[in-house]
Structure 1
Amino acid sequence: MPRTQKIFTSFTTGEISPRLTSRIDFAKYINGCETLENYTILPQGGVTRRPGLRFVEEVKDSSKAVRVETFQFSVTDAYVLEIGEKYIRFYKDQARLSSGGSPVEVTTPYLEADLFDLHFAQSADIMYIAHKDYAPRKLSRTSDTAWVFSTITFDPGPSFVDNTDLGEQVTIAAITGTGITVTPDSTEALFLAADVGRNLVSGAGRGTIISINTGASPDTVDMDIIADFPGTTLLVNEWELTDSPQAQLTASAALPVGNNTTLTLNANGWRSADVGKFVKVNNGLLKITAFTSVTVVRAEIITLLDSTTAAAAGTWTLEVESWTATRGFPAAIGFFEQRLLYARTDTQPQTIWGSVTDDFENFAAGTADDDALDFTLTGQNPIRWLSPKSTLSVGTFGGEIIISSTNDA
């Protein structure tokens, strides 16, 4: 029987799975290969041998792993980054960049074990770098031999309402019921009047504070228990208060940005530990700079307030920085629709933060369309990566989801 030969004109399918070798009915079968190694598939259908590699220089320490990344400023200015343990070196036009006879190099904090958990996003001559164990950094270029690696100072960074740990042991009269008294072990005043209405939580236990008894020594509070507590003794760091102080807040000034203003509560609610925290009120953002009393603090205006109208309890929030050494730093990064995006910390593993439009180091949230934003994925696994295209692809430990903007007013 004569042997026939068939001409294949396209290999655009690439290699096909061994499980498809008998699927001659599969439309892409005819353009597939069992093995296609060291070739590049051309869009026209043919293939060409892949380019070879060129040895340029030995890395700084060949005994350790090194990561290679690209840094492209423009069509004519592109670089290769040699990222090793605690350093970055630079290459251009098939040569390592040097200055004064020494390789151009910047120092970084990243250890060898950290290198392949780094995530990058670049805009013009600045590359932003994220790693879950390090504060966000950036690599800036001003010339072939002038590079700066620095920690980003956000103005401001994102914030959120976190639980308040008062750092004291307390005893509750019962693990279930209503009107249950909570007594601090310390003789110092622990609870404040503005804590009435907040929840006290410990593990699965939860109760709403309904009153404060200021005549006792120390002051005690009563709460209605919503979910039973595990025991009657709540040790230090085993319980917290949720939400913000439940009191009316009045700011003495609404502008200008950078100005100091006084924030006054109509009930005892401020604590000295509130210095450095943020207050969102009347669509503005302030940072507490000084503690005056349990009813008065001083704060810097970060973004303008709509007015100095008194804000009722529940209409303003006391917030903490989202990214710290204790709460974790963002692990993923990307650009999308002129915003710098970060995602996932240890404390907020399903949250994505977006900067102010075209102001990548400003995460001041607000109500304007171009203000910073943040949102948390519901019912998703922790975020692993961000891939911005026409839509934002978000990879989680359980799968991928697509996020897109809307034109609705």
Structure 2
Amino acid sequence: MARVHPFQTNFTAGELTPKLAGQVDFKKYNNGVEEMQNMTVFPQGGATRRYGSRFVAEVKDSSKSTRIIPFEFNITQSYILELGDQYIRFYKDNGQITNTPKTITGITQANPAVVTVSSHGYSNGDDVWINSVVGMTQVNGRRFRIANVTTNTFELQGVNSTGYTAYASAGTAADVFEIASPFTESQLYEIAFTQSADVMYLVHEDVAPRKLSRTGHTSWTMTEVDFKRGPYLDQNTTSTTMTPSGTSGSVTITASSSTFVATDVGRLIKFNSGHAKITNFSSATQVTATTTDNFSGTGGTADWSLGTFTSTKGFPKSVSFFEQRLIFAGTTTFPQTIKAAGYADNSNGTRVMSLAFSSPNPNL
């Protein structure tokens, strides 16, 4: 009897567990396979060989862990972010983003090679790409770490150019574009992130939430998220009162009993119809704060609340967008609590409201 091989045109169910073998009544059975290696399935149903990879550049320090994450504004403005030990580098269009190239006027045939670039502004340890050199073409299209920097020259670390063709003319040098980051090597793979247009939010339970903004290929900034009106812990239920020295600007807040700790710097506090951010710790009963919404008066009150996100209580380790709201969740002290931002406030300092609720899911 001839063997029959069915013609399969759809693979969108992917690989099926062996436990489903022979389960022809399973809806996805006819769109699944037993094993699929090095293939990419299209949403339309077909499949093709997976795309290959290409070496673009070495990370800043190969001896340390590094993480790459996507940043996609649209199909023509997509980036790869290299997150390393307290830095971020950027890639686009199969290349590493650099600062504006500067003109090379000379490269020596020496060990190490010395490059002349007038008033380059580089520093020891910078990574520099060299291109378009006439004569000494062996250096073109390569990235070098530089050392022994002077005002107009720098050495190519570890490069012996004595056997290279003599430099004739032209050429450019461009240092790698990089910004500072608060995240250390040990924290990289615990960072959660979410993106909306040109803004990405990154969180880690030991670091205050960060906002990464893009305004151009070489114009990226990372700032601490500026919470203005929350989120807050539950309202005080003790007899302790808070008294401000003024109603606006920089004020001294005095508690009637020990309340504050040194890690409260940067924490929000609200009472007397106002909001403020603590800027200095003086003692367990006194701090300095800057108002974000003025207090209604200078009288003492037991009706106050302290901010949720702080080194004292921990920071969120999950972040996402849901129906135009920016959502934070999972602090160290309150792992099942979710905080939601007010509508349309996400890009303007992030006025996160105390719309908190507890979830029965411990993973949130």
Q: TM-score when scaled to structure 2?
A: 0.64
- Give the structure 1 partner of residue 337 of structure 2: 351
Aligned residues: CA RMSD: 3.8
Once residues 58 and 81 of structure 1 are traced to their aligned partners in structure 2, the CA distance between those partners, rounded to angstroms, is 13
CA spacing shift, 1:130–1:252, aligned 2, 3 Å: closer
Report the identity percentage: 38
Q: Which of 240, 244, 247 does residue 238 from structure 2 map onto?
A: 244
Q: Which of 258, 262, 269 does residue 278 from structure 1 map onto?
A: 269
- Give the structure 1 partner of residue 164 of structure 2: none
- Structure 1 position 83, deviation (Å): 1.0
Once residues 72 and 98 of structure 2 are traced to their aligned partners in structure 1, the CA distance between those partners, rounded to angstroms, is 19
Answer yes or no: is 1:341 the counterpart of 2:327: yes
- Give the structure 2 partner of residue 330 of structure 1: 316
**Which deviates further from its counterpart, 41-50 or 90-99?**
41-50
- Structure 1 position 16, deviation (Å): 0.7
CA spacing shift, 1:8–1:272, aligned 2, 3 Å: closer
Write the mapping of 1:10-29 to structure 2, written as runs, cut at 5 A.
10-29=10-29
Maintained 8 Å contact 1:356/1:362:
no
- Give the structure 2 partner of residue 64 of structure 1: 64
- Structure 1 position 41, deviation (Å): 1.8
Maintained 8 Å contact 2:240/2:257:
no
Once residues 57 and 103 of structure 1 are traced to their aligned partners in structure 2, the CA distance between those partners, rounded to angstroms, is 11
- Structure 1 position 300, deviation (Å): 7.1
- Structure 1 position 328, deviation (Å): 0.7
- Give the structure 2 partner of residue 151 of structure 1: 224
Per-residue Cα deviation, 1:213-271 (whole angstroms, up to 9, x for no partner)? xxxxxxxxxxxxxxxxxxxxxxxxxxxxx723278x99999x9xx4799999xxxx834
Residue type of the alignment partner of 2:315: F
CA spacing shift, 1:151–1:12, aligned 2, 3 Å: closer
Answer yes or no: is 1:133 the counterpart of 2:206: yes
CA spacing shift, 1:10–1:153, aligned 2, 3 Å: closer
Maintained 8 Å contact 1:23/1:29:
yes
Residue type of the alignment partner of 2:214: R
Write the mapping of 1:4-403 to structure 2, written as runs, cut at 5 A.
4-99=4-99, 100=101, 101-161=174-234, 243-245=237-239, 258=248, 270-271=256-257, 273=259, 278-280=269-271, 284-287=273-276, 302-303=292-293, 317-360=303-346, 362=349, 372-381=353-362, 383=363, 396=364
Maintained 8 Å contact 1:355/1:362:
no
SS in 1 for 2:6: coil
Once residues 188 and 309 of structure 2 are traced to their aligned partners in structure 1, the CA distance between those partners, rounded to angstroms, is 20
SS in 1 for 2:321: strand
Once residues 277 and 127 of structure 1 are traced to their aligned partners in structure 2, the CA distance between those partners, rounded to angstroms, is 23
Maintained 8 Å contact 1:356/1:373:
no
- Give the structure 1 partner of residue 151 of structure 2: none
Structure 2 unaligned residues grouped into runs of 5+: 102-173, 281-286
- Structure 1 position 6, deviation (Å): 2.4
- Structure 1 position 105, deviation (Å): 0.8
Once residues 288 and 6 of structure 1 are traced to their aligned partners in structure 2, the CA distance between those partners, rounded to angstroms, is 68
CA spacing shift, 1:23–1:278, aligned 2, 3 Å: same
Per-residue Cα deviation, 1:351-400 (whole angstroms, up to 9, x for no partner)? 111223222365657xxxxxx2331315442x4xxxxxxxxxxxx3xxxx
Residue type of the alignment partner of 1:278: I
CA spacing shift, 1:299–1:20, aligned 2, 3 Å: closer
